[in-house]
Amino acid sequence: YGIDALDIGLGIHPDLTGCGRGIHYVERVLEFAKQKFVPPKFRVTIAAFNKRAQKVWRKAGFHVVERFQHAKSGRWFVMMVCTAIDTD
């Protein structure tokens, strides 16, 4: 977490996943966060198995900068970042 960025956390109710709305949720969150906090970059950490979430964040302009394994659980995660640019 050495990159100066605003961490974003987002959860979607399971009944609403797979409906193609993920990018719209992400864009609204980024718009709010950009106006409220004016960060240089955004960062999101996603469980490595969650390919659908990674796809949505890639669509929003994020790219993987690191993969790591949680020390206690052994689970893998990906860290993705994006420059805080207009999300229109």
How far from chain centre, in Å, is Cα 59? 10
* H helix or E strand, kind and range, residue 46: strand 41-47
Q: Give the predicted TM-score (pTM) of the model.
A: 0.88
Place of tokens 């987002």: 10
Alpha-carbon distances, residue 32 vs 1, 3, 28, 62 (angstroms): 22, 21, 6, 17
Q: How far apart are CA 86 and CA 63, in angstroms?
A: 16
| pLDDT value at residue 86 | 57
Q: How far apart are CA 47 and CA 61, in angstroms?
A: 18
The series of mean pLDDT values per 10 residues for the chain, 88 residues long, is: 91 85 94 96 97 96 97 97 74
